[in-house]
Structure 1
Amino acid sequence: MLNKGILWVLRILVGGLFIFSGLIKVNDPVGTAIKLEEYFDVFSNDIAGFFYYLKPFALYLAVFLVVLEVVLGVMLILGVRSKFTVRALFLMILFFTFLTFFSAYFNKVTDCGCFGDAIKLTPWESFYKDVILTVLILGILALQKYLPTSSSSLAKGTVWAVGILCFVLSLTAIRNLPFIDFRAYKVGVNIPTNMQPSAPLQYSYVMQKDGQTVTLDSYPTEEGYEFVEMNLKNPDALPKISDFSAWNESGDQTDFVFAGNKVLILSPSMAKFNDKNLESIHTLVKSMENAPVDVILMAAAPQEEIDAFISSNNWSIVGLQADATVVKTMIRSNPGIMILKDGTVLAKYHHNNTPEAGEVLDLFIR
């Protein structure tokens, strides 16, 4: 009876964590795909070149993995094909543990994306989390003779319903934008504010004196101390955004982006710019020509390519360069549209949902 009770607790813990992790990523499968691409780049350089050829399939793999996480978690809790489920979870956690150890030990990918953008873990925190999960799953394997050997039609139907629902939600998030935005550029935030510390940064100083190591709250002015290292005491106060910048041949244009009414057309890659809804974007751009609004094409591309695209569409707008990672963080769409007023994000749109000019202008006067 005790073993069955322990097993039930382990099933709830492991299954619940996989469901939670998977649902967060179902909300943003594009973000998971971006993280997979980072791993494929690293692995292609450090392990084997064939990983590079997996990059075009990153989004498909992301959808498969995030749905699988949720489905396996539900199967474990409901006791559907229990032994198969535990073995599948064990193989999955071994894979994740390898990824997180590789990231932590070699400092290659500094955020594993285990919980999307909702919960940020350091590489070593991610690894320790996976080690704990591995131990819990090993506990289930040790008690597997107590696992359910059959399941009801209702439980099986629930698993199928959850899988289909998560798949549909993933596709919806891809074709639109994440249902919940956990990033530092979400609607309502002021980007310049997020670029500043939330409180004065406080440091401690590790010093050596007379063969002893001491930690001080301020840098010593007296002689005899040898500097060892400096540590941040309140890392939560660090700026949420540390890498935003926009520029062109005239120099840094970040302040210009944050001044007044702006419509940003964002593209993390002009080579992958989806022109499916270009006509709607063209209509929006043209409708803004006489409005008190600056329209900006901000892309991770050479300035010549940006300017050529603007010219080919006969747009009278500003073209700016930006870092690809920053643009991908700002919007999960290529292209995507962000509405700013004095640096505050008023709205974000997937190109499938390109707004009309009246809708945008209404945002500025609310």
Structure 2
Amino acid sequence: MENKYLHRVIVVWSNFCRFLLAVVFLFSGFVKANDPLGTVYKVQDYLEAWGFLGLSKGNVPYAVAMLFALLEFIIGIYLFFGIRRRVAPLLVLLVMSFMTPLTLWLAIANPISDCGCFGDVVVLTNWETFFKNIVLLVAAISVFRWKRYIFKLVTTKVDWLISLYSIVFIIFFTLFNLRYLPVFDFRPYHVGADIQKGMSIPEGEKPTVYETIFIYSKNGKEQEFTIDNFPTDSTWTFVDSKTRVKEKGYEPPIHDFSITSLETGEDLTEDILQSDQYTFLLVAPWLKQADDSGMDLINQVYDYSVEHGYRFLCLTASSEQDIMEWQENTGAEYPFALMDEITLKTMIRSNPGLMLLKKGVVLRKWSVSNLPDEYQLNAPLERLPFSTWSPETNVHKIVEVALWFLGPLLLFTIIDLIWLRIKARREKEKEKETL
């Protein structure tokens, strides 16, 4: 009786752990596939933190980002449906055995602010990520230890089809989001976002209070001072200074949006955010690595904006030399402005990408692969659909993507089952003929 009760507990526990891991891995893999360029940026941060500067600039981050999205999503599919019951528990155990000590190092050394496990959807601190991985590691050990108790949700007739189709789906979904823009945009610069509102602190909320620490040296010993106990003795020698959070408060989603004219050095931020006119922003963090395949269309958009009196700016963090080379190579006549590199990478997942603003509200975003052409820009913006934005909820998008995944999968499954039935019928007929 006791053994039967223990057996039931093990079955329930192992399958609970299996579904927990499946949901987490499916979510993590899907998020990475939805924003592959964001994952690339995070991989580059890891490589730079480890000192592999050469690898961070090439194709390695792209390969790693796609591999992680594929691996996590497929492991999640395997665990959820109970497919590959020997391989899946081993894979998930290996992944968690690698990620848990890695996130412990991240929590202690803190080389980057967050691990990027769930992209911009759920941002966890490094310590939160480590404790989350401890739970998942326990679940992975349990699933590996009692993998024989994992029950299947599908038969062996269709498990290979689910496995193959899932691989094809996540690869194409990743490539689609890499070529265009993420289907789900969880960043503060999504279409419909009010940048001015994102920069403000709501009434009643307290801002974060920062404190500057000054490090001085005297007689070979270093000591920290604040502005309140600043040393008056001139024999102290300044060494360094640092800023730390004194009192945690509300952090606005956008806190580093600042545009500086390259030509005049003027701060254009308020002028652009409060302007009633339409503004095209060509966002290119690094012009040296920017894709110039759409330059003819970009120049056409600039000509269109000049013709109709709209503002056009290229925002970049590139050097003046790189800007001059870009102008020479592409024939760019539009003005340039400087902006923080991280902000530019957050604004749009394309280098370059195009944004349309009015009064600080993001109306449209285009990647370099789907820029508007002269046939779309055939009238003033007031008469085009670009002048407004239609709110499309994430729930609507989730249903749409789910149908793209489940619809063809169900169709292929039905076709495969019909074929198996036809094949079985033919084999029976052959057996009757031989008899």
TM-score (norm 1): 0.84
Greater CA drift, 65-74 or 303-312: 303-312
- The whole-number CA distance in structure 2 between the counterparts of 1:335 and 1:358 is 23
1:242 is aligned to 255
Point out the more displaced range, 31-40 or 86-95: 86-95
- Read off the aligned partner of 2:147 and give its amino acid letter: Q
- Change in CA separation of 1:72 and 1:51 when aligned onto 2, cut-off 3 Å: farther
Query: What is the match of residue 363 of structure 2?
Result: 346
CA 364–313 in structure 1, closer or farther in 2 if over 3 Å, else same? same
Runs of 4+ in 1 over 6 A off after TM superposition: none
Q: 1:20 to 1:31 in 2, by over 3 A?
A: same
**Kept in 2: contact 1:43–1:51 (CA 8 A):** no
Structure-1 separation of matches of 2:22 and 2:53: 33
* Selected match of 1:187 from 191, 206, 226: 191
Q: 1:283 aligns with which of 265, 275, 300?
A: 300
Alignment of 1:294-309 (within 5 A): 294-307=311-324, 309=326
Aligned match of 1:75: 78
Equivalent position of 2:272 in the other structure: 257
Aligned with 1:182: secondary structure? coil
Question: What do you get for the CA RMSD once the two structures are aligned?
Answer: 2.6
Count of paired positions: 337
C-alpha distance after superposition, 1:121-149 (max 9, x if no partner): 11111111111111111121232343469
**1:151 CA displacement:** 6.1
Q: CA deviation at 1:316?
A: 4.0
Aligned partner of 2:116 in structure 1 is 113
1:194–1:277: structure 2 CA closer, same or farther, 3 Å change rule?
A: same
Contact in 2 for aligned 1:25/1:116 (Cα 8 Å): yes
- Residue of structure 1 aligned with 2:340, choices 323, 327, 330: 323
**Identity in percent:** 27
Deviations 1:70-97 (A, max 9, x none): 1111112222222221111111122322
Task: From 67, 70, 89, give the equivalent of 1:64.
Answer: 67
Amino acid at match of 1:319: F
Deviation (angstroms), 1:363: 5.3
Superposed, 1:29-48 pairs within 5 Å as: 29-44=36-51
CA distance in 1, matches of 2:199, 2:161: 48
The letter for the 2-side match of 1:154 is V
Show CA shifts across 1:197-256 (max 9, x none): 23421679xxxxxxxxxxxxxxxxxxxxxxxx8432xx4x32101222221353332223
Q: Structure 1 unaligned segments of length 5 or more: list them.
A: 205-228
Q: Any idea what SS the aligned residue of 1:134 has?
A: helix
Report the residue type matching 1:40 in the other structure: L
Unaligned runs of 5+ in 2: 1-7, 210-244, 389-435
The corresponding residue for 1:97 is: 100
C-alpha displacement at 1:187, in angstroms?
Answer: 0.6
CA distance in 2: counterparts of 1:109 and 1:127, whole angstroms:
14
Q: In the alignment, what sits opposite 2:372?
A: 355
Give the TM-score normalised by structure 2: 0.72
Is 1:16 aligned to 2:29, yes or no? Answer: no
Cα 1:11–1:174 shift into 2, 3 Å: same
C-alpha separation in 1, matches of 2:341 and 2:257: 10
2:71 and 2:162 mapped to 1: Cα distance?
A: 14
Tell me how far 1:298 sits from its aligned partner.
0.7
Q: Distance in 2 between matches of 1:197 and 1:25?
A: 30
Check the 8 A contact 1:40/1:55 in 2, yes or no.
Answer: no
Report the Cα offset of residue 320 of structure 1.
0.6
Task: Name the amino acid aligned to 1:19.
Answer: L
| Counterpart for residue 3 of structure 1 | 10
User: How has the CA–CA distance of structure 1 residues 358 and 304 changed in structure 2, closer, same or farther, with 3 Å as cutoff?
Assistant: farther
